[in-house]
């Protein structure tokens, strides 16, 4: 932003966290510029445009409809908004969700629906999206785990504003700059997606075709596997690894859950695999006691066992880095002498499309145990398994490094975007001539 000039003259805003503003700008509480709509209805037609919190992208101020639907039933109570209203997500305001409506419609009651007066809706939206304003809103929220903002507090927050004409000029310049940044983010995001696709293809190819491109192949008879090297076997996983699962001991027995030492892996811990891509896991939110295990169907699986999430967050494998139990949401294999656990882990990763095919359910997806018992896998020699594990590990490290580098570049672009918007709507830079 160094090529943008400041305004010729500034004055103290009178608000410590805002600081100085251009001399000719005004300072007033948000409620002087906007009013809240409180209209609620339960008879909105099912085909009416509905906006849920999941349809608003965090930080960007963009409306991106999803396949999700937080409107549970046709007769649910919803908020009503009109074109050019500002919809601000009051639940978890740190997510910074705010859009300007481009149509009339209905929305989640977790939005504050704001009607502006002489102030541009886009000006109010961009002000609400700034990190400093978010901090001010968070300071007035109630609830620790599920903080919610209320209009009384949001409306009391000060907002600097220039003339209507100047607002148009500033917002026009903001739109142009953020569009350029967003295009770069989109390009880099797509690059990450392509890297992940190549990463998946690499894994699937390695565990089904091996490392020798000249080896003679034969048909495996399994769709997801296709052809395999002629010398490889194709076996049911349960023939080379002992299949087990887990259980949840009774919650009515506090002594089974207090002062315990046995790690108990559940879907609450799957973020380690889903978001961070960990191969080995040792951390769990909860631990269970010996009594809890002894008096339930829970099992303590030995370190090195391979597990696969089969409910809700389906299809994420990991290797136990220590002895641990699991909930019933996981299938667990204890590998025998014929299969290397890290190779089985790669096979489960390579089965991604097959796992998707086996999922049953619309919202709460599951792979049932009979289907898991029927899993078949390519099985090379132990030596070849170890070579594949080494090769794939080296290649994945290269991919992951490139993904991390690209993601950092995206994060910096988002920081630059937020900083530019903040500088624009606080008057740190003069955008009148660039409009």
CATH number where 64 lies:
3.90.220.20
Residue 336 lies in a domain: yes
Q: 246 and 183, same structural domain?
A: no
Q: 365 and 431, same structural domain?
A: no
pLDDT (tens digit per residue) in 99-137? 999 999 999 999 999 999 989 999 999 999 999 999 999
Among 359, 379, 399, residue at a domain's last position? 379
User: How far apart are alpha carbons 164 and 179 in whole angstroms?
Assistant: 22
Among 338, 360, 379, residue at a domain's last position? 379
Residue 77 lies in a domain: yes
pLDDT (tens digit per residue) in 147-163? 999 999 999 999 999 99
Tokens, residue 297: 């169907």
pLDDT at 1 over 90: no
Residue 245 lies in a domain: yes
Tokens, residue 289: 């006691």
User: Which residues are CB-contacts of 328 (< 8 A; sequence separation ≥ 6)?
Assistant: 245, 246, 247, 248, 311
Lowest mean pLDDT among 1-10, 55-64, 423-432: 1-10
Q: 131 and 92, same structural domain?
A: yes
Residue 280 lies in a domain: yes
Q: Number of structural domains, the chain?
A: 3
Confidence band (pLDDT; 50, 70, 90) for 287? very high
Average pLDDT over residues 272-297: 91
Q: 227 and 82, same structural domain?
A: no
Residue 405 lies in a domain: yes
Tokens, residue 399: 């991919």
Among 331, 350, 379, residue at a domain's last position? 379
Q: 326 and 234, same structural domain?
A: yes
Residue 20 lies in a domain: no
How far lies 252's CA from each of 233, 324, 373, in Å?
48, 22, 32
- When the pLDDT of each residue in the chain is averaged and rounded to a whole number, the result is 93
Q: What is the DSSP letter of 426?
A: T
Query: Which among 72-76, 120-124, 137-141 has the top mean pLDDT?
Result: 120-124
Q: Is the pTM of this model over 0.85?
A: no
Residue matched to tokens 């293809």: 201
Q: 432 and 321, same structural domain?
A: no
Domain that holds residue 38: 26-157
Residue 41 lies in a domain: yes
Structural contact between residues 124 and 419, judged by C-beta atoms closer than 8 angstroms? no
Q: What is the DSSP letter of 344?
A: H
pLDDT confidence of residue 243: 96
CB atoms within 10 A of CB 401: 10
Q: 111 and 241, same structural domain?
A: no
């Amino acid at each position: 932003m160094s090529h943008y000039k400041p305004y010729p003259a500034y004055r103290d805003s009178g608000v410590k966290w805002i600081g100085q503003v251009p001399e000719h700008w005004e300072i007033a509480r948000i409620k002087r510029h906007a009013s809240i709509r409180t209209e609620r209805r339960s008879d909105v037609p099912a085909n009416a445009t509905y906006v849920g919190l999941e349809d608003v992208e965090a930080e960007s101020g963009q409306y991106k409809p999803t396949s999700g639907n937080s409107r549970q039933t046709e007769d649910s109570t919803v908020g009503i908004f009109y074109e050019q209203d500002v919809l601000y997500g009051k639940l978890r305001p740190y997510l910074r969700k705010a859009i300007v409506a481009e149509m009339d419609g209905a929305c989640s009651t977790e939005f504050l629906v704001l009607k502006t007066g002489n102030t541009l809706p886009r000006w109010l939206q961009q002000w609400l999206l700034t990190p400093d304003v978010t901090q001010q809103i968070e300071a007035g929220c109630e609830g620790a785990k599920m903080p919610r903002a209320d209009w009384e507090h949001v409306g009391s927050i000060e907002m600097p504003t220039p003339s209507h004409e100047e607002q148009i000029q500033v917002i026009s310049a903001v739109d142009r700059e953020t569009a350029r940044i967003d295009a770069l983010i989109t390009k880099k995001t797509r690059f990450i997606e392509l890297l992940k696709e190549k990463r998946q293809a690499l894994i699937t190819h390695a565990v089904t075709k091996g490392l020798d491109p000249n080896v003679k192949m034969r048909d495996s008879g399994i769709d997801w596997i296709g052809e395999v090297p002629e010398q490889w076997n194709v076996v049911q996983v349960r023939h080379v690894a002992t299949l087990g699962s887990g259980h949840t001991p009774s919650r009515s027995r506090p002594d089974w859950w207090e002062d315990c030492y046995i790690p108990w892996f559940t879907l609450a811990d799957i973020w380690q695999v889903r978001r961070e891509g960990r191969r080995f896991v040792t951390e769990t939110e909860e631990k269970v006691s010996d009594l809890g295990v002894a008096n339930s169907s829970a099992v303590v699986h030995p370190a090195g066992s391979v597990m696969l999430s089969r409910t809700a967050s389906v299809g994420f494998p990991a290797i136990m880095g220590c002895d641990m139990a699991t909930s019933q949401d996981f299938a667990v294999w204890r590998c025998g002498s014929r299969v290397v656990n890290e190779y089985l882990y790669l096979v489960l990763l390579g089965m991604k499309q097959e796992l998707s095919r086996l999922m049953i359910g619309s919202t709460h997806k599951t792979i049932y145990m009979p289907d898991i018992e029927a899993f078949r896998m390519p099985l090379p020699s132990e030596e070849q398994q170890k070579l594949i594990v080494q090769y794939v590990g080296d290649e994945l490290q290269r991919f992951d490094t490139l993904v991390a580098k690209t993601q950092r570049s995206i994060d910096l672009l988002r920081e630059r975007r937020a900083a530019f918007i903040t500088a624009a709507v606080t008057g740190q830079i003069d955008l009148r001539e660039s409009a």
